[in-house]
Amino acid sequence: MTDAVRTHGLYKQYGRQTAVAGVDLVVPAGSFAGLVGPNGAGKTTTLSMITALLRPDGGRAEIDGFDVWRDPVQVKARIGVLPEGLRLFERLSGRELLLYNGRLRGIPKADVEQRAAELLDVMDLTGSADKLVVDYSTGMRKKIGLAAALLHNPSVLFLDEPFEGVDPVSANTLTDVLRGFTASGSTVIFSSHVMELVERLCDWVSVMSGGAIVAQGPIDEVRAGRSLNQAFLDLVGGGHHNQAGLSWLGARPQEGR
């Protein structure tokens, strides 16, 4: 079967800083995949290049076998994206935002209206559907962003920290929606720092460090009998912080002095 995502030597340089140093990311179709790595590992830069938001300096990326930069129309029809620091049309209501997105995607009006109503209901946003997005909370913005990313029924969904700011009840709902989505053969790729979440949700994981993939595969293979957190620390060389500094932190002057 064609992989949902495959990159070949993806590369990006900012001035003298190499952000992504030849990434070969593979995500099989139907996976619930996690992309993990320390701060600055290159996850956001990689996802931006795969979703055609940022042009790579080298290498290429394919979605469902279509080259992202040679076949952008095919690719954009197949992907849904919930990016980091999502910008929304603030002066639209949640419902208007979905209807507008659906029309931009060329979905017939009646279908958009039905899908929007169902998504608002599932995301528990029906009561806030006519409120302006500018007045939404952080979690509500995540949920309406996710609804907008799902509206055209993409085959591959990219999510950057999708559960950040989302309450536990809504997180369960989102999880169910995403599980149903992958069960029908679609693919979810999300970046997260929360290992417990990745361990619970994902069947595939790619670990990045220093702009490169240091491990990837079925999650049980990458864990190799360890917790994902331990595997992560072993792979990225964490846990050896310098205890010599910060001796002043927490120290209080003696009373009466």
Ligand X SMILES: Nc1ncnc2c1ncn2[C@@H]1O[C@H](COP(=O)(O)OP(=O)(O)OP(=O)(O)O)[C@@H](O)[C@H]1O
Answer positive or negative: Cα dihedral of 221, 189, 124, 177: negative
Nearer to ligand X, 54 or 92 (CB): 54
Contacts of 27 (CB under 8 A, 6+ apart): 3, 4, 5, 6, 33, 187, 189, 204, 206
Q: Which is nearer to ligand X, 43 or 143 (CB)?
A: 43
- How far is the C-alpha of 149 from the C-alpha of 103, rounded, in Å? 13
Tokens of 82: 């919930």
DSSP string covering 66-85: EETTT-HHHHHHHEEEE-TT
Q: Is 19 in the site for ligand X (CB under 6 A)?
A: yes
Stretch touching ligand X by CB under 6 A, among 11-19, 106-114, 163-171, 229-237: 11-19
Q: Helix (H, G, I), strand (E, B), or coil: what is residue 48?
A: helix
Coil, helix or strand for 173?
A: helix
Phi, psi of 166 (to 5 degrees): -100, 130
Closest CB to ligand X among residues 40, 83:
40
Q: Give the shortest CB-161-to-ligand X separation in angstroms.
A: 8
Of 14-22, 109-117, 215-223, 246-254, the window that binds ligand X (rule: CB under 6 A) is 14-22
Site string for ligand X, 22-51 (x = CB under 6 A): ---------------x-xxxxxxx------
Residue 20 CB, nearest distance to ligand X (Å)?
7
> Which CB, 177 or 194, lies closer to ligand X?
194
Residues that bind ligand X in the complex, under the rule CB under 6 A: 14, 17, 19, 37, 39-45
